[in-house]
Amino acid sequence: DGGITQSPKYLFRKEGQNVTLSCEQNLNHDAMYWYRQDPGQGLRLIYYSQIVNDFQKGDIAEGYSVSREKKESFPLTVTSAQKNPTAFYLCASSIAGTGNNSPLHFGNGTRLTVT
């Protein structure tokens, strides 16, 4: 069954620690994305990647880092430099290429709480 898997569903960390959120897809999509969802602010783009070994900063990349070593995987690291890391994080993927943009497919999200 194709889809996007984010793990874990809930994550708790102490302030000052880095934490990595997992995102795996078996849809054979080229493009992958990380969004942060906060109440009243909608979805804000953190990083996106259109192809393996390449990624671009989104609107709120400060304090985050990503890697794209494999087509199926796009892990997000929330570093200690992120000032307000507690949030709901969504991973998504889409078919990339020329022509019409394909829609995003989303994971179920990871809720990160930093205390």
Partner 1 sequence: AQRVTQPEKLLSVFKGAPVELKCNYSYSGSPELFWYVQYSRQRLQLLLRHISRESIKGFTADLNKGETSFHLKKPFAQEEDSAMYYCALSGRTYKYIFGTGTRLKVLA
Residue 53, classified by CB atoms within 10 Å of its CB into exposed (0-12), middle (13-18) or buried (19+), is: exposed
> Quick one: how many helices (H) and strands (E) in the chain?
0, 11
Residues 33-52 within binding reach of partner 1 (CB under 8 A): 33, 35, 40-45, 48, 50
Cβ nearer to partner 1, comparing 82 with 94: 94
Radius of gyration of the chain (CA): 14
Q: How far is the CB of 70 from partner 1 (least distance, A)?
A: 19
Alpha-carbon span 20 to 50, nearest angstrom: 20
- Report in angstroms how near the CB of residue 100 gets to partner 1 at its nearest: 6
Smaller CB distance to partner 1: residue 59 or 62?
59
Q: How many CA atoms lie within 13 A of 106 on its CB side?
A: 11
Q: Which of residues 1-30 bind partner 1 (CB under 8 A)?
A: none
Q: Which of residues 51-110 bind partner 1 (CB under 8 A)?
A: 56, 58, 90, 92, 94, 96, 100-101, 103-104, 106-109
- φ, ψ of residue 114 to 5 degrees: the values are -115, 125
One of 19, 21, 31, 112 touching partner 1 (CB under 8 A) = 31
Alpha carbons 75 and 47: distance in angstroms, whole number: 10
Using CB under 8 A, list all residues that contact partner 1: 31, 33, 35, 40-45, 48, 50, 56, 58, 90, 92, 94, 96, 100-101, 103-104, 106-109
